[in-house]
Amino acid sequence: MSRILHRTKPDKAADTLIYAVLALFALSALFPLYYVFIVSVTPYAEVMKNGGFVIWPKQFTLEAYREIFASPRIPQALRITAFITVVGTALNLAVTTLLAYPLSKKSLAGRNFVLMALVFTMIFSGGMIPLYIVVRGLGLYDTVWALIIPGMVSTFNLLIVKTYFENLPAEVEEAARVDGCGDLGTLVRIVLPLSAPIMATIGLFYGVNHWNEYFKGIFYLSDKTLMPMQVVLRSMIQSPNVSTELSLNSLALNALPPETIKMAVVVVATLPLLVIYPFLQKYFVKGALLGSVKG
């Protein structure tokens, strides 16, 4: 047994190589985020003195963050994005769950037809113009609901949740029905508590999509006060005049060049997801694997 467990030098060398490659991949993913943050808190004179490349600044400044939060547009965009993320994700999970649970029952009449119709939407769609006409016809244009309702259910996420429900032990639901629970009671009291991993996983999928919402914002909104964070970020990065986009005063703009302010806005737009993700990571892998394999 000791010979079997003993690791040879080639094995150790292979492990070292694998860890080195993984470390390089991790560094390549983390360094851009680190660089953006460092530039946002470094005085611009120091950035230019070092040729635009700073690993660790000699001085730190939060002036860029003070200025962008003094602007009315960034806080408003954050409120809009937070609203569509929280409310949109809650509605996504509710509708997806209420649709996936009955479809997980093979005894449901018309189940195969509904599943085929849902899968059909993954392959074919009406296109942008018909969807735009529908949004305007429903009176959703220039409202935050235009960013939530048109994408209420993702067929891909729905199929994952349905498969997860199918893998749950049937005996648990049968015991609940013996105790007098109906379909809704069984779902709320039994199924959902057992489905925390898949709910966290799908909630993360929906939440990230809402937080990064960009296309619907430029397609369905013309009111700048309703623009989500990613649309404001794009407008600001493309604009040569940051003061016009963010209504910054000229003195602050002279002290803080546009590049520094842009980096600070990128950090503000990215930080919430980086903070929330570690708390959901333990559910993410488990939920994705259990929901993608038919038992």
For residues 111 and 164, membership in a common domain is answered with yes
- Which residue range(s) make up the domain with 287? 65-295
pTM comes to 0.80
Task: Spell out the residues 6+ positions from residue 111 whose beta carbon is closer than 8 angstroms to its own.
Answer: 102, 103, 105
Residue 94 banded pLDDT, cuts 50, 70, 90: very high
Based on the fold, state whether residues 20 and 157 are members of the same structural domain. Answer: no
Residues 163 and 283 in one domain: yes
Residues 12 and 83 in one domain: no
Q: Using CA atoms, how far apart are residues 162 and 148, in angstroms rounded to an integer?
A: 22
47 plus 113 within the same structural domain: no
Average pLDDT score over residue span 269-280: 80
| 120-174 per-position pLDDT tens digit | 888 887 778 888 899 999 999 999 999 999 888 999 999 989 988 888 888 877 8
Q: Please give the pLDDT value at position 251.
A: 44
Number of domains in the chain: 2
Give me the CATH number covering residue 231: 1.10.3720.10
Q: Can you give the pLDDT at residue 72?
A: 82
What is the structure's pLDDT at 290? 56
Q: Would you state the pLDDT for residue 51?
A: 66
| 257 pLDDT higher than 50 | yes
Same domain, 198 and 257: yes
- Whether residue 162 is found in the same domain as residue 259: yes
Model pLDDT for residues 8-29, shown as the tens digit of each residue: 777 778 888 899 999 999 888 8
Q: What tens digit of pLDDT does each residue of 187-226 get?
A: 888 888 888 888 888 988 899 899 988 888 888 988 888 8
The pLDDT assigned to 287 comes to: 54
pLDDT > 70: percent of the chain: 83
pLDDT at residue 52 in the model: 64
Between 177 and 192, residue with greater pLDDT: 192
**What pLDDT was estimated at residue 83?**
94
Q: For the segment 62-85, what is each residue's pLDDT rounded down to a tens digit?
A: 888 888 888 788 889 999 999 999
Q: Please tell me the distance from the alpha carbon of residue 295 to that of residue 293, in angstroms, as a whole number.
A: 6
User: How much is the pLDDT for 214?
Assistant: 86
Based on the domain organization, do 156 and 269 belong to the same domain?
A: yes
Would the pLDDT of 89 be above 90? yes
Same-domain pairing of 41 and 110: no
Q: How confident is the model at residue 284 (pLDDT cuts 50, 70, 90)?
A: low
Asked if residue 147 and residue 57 are part of one domain, the reply reads: no
Mean model confidence pLDDT for the chain:
81
Asked if 96 and 131 sit in the same domain, the reply is yes
Condensed to tens digits (0 to 9), the pLDDT of residues 201-210 reads 898 889 989 9
What digits encode the pLDDT tens for the residues 24-61? 998 888 888 888 888 888 777 776 676 667 777 777 87
pLDDT of residue 292 exceeding 60: no
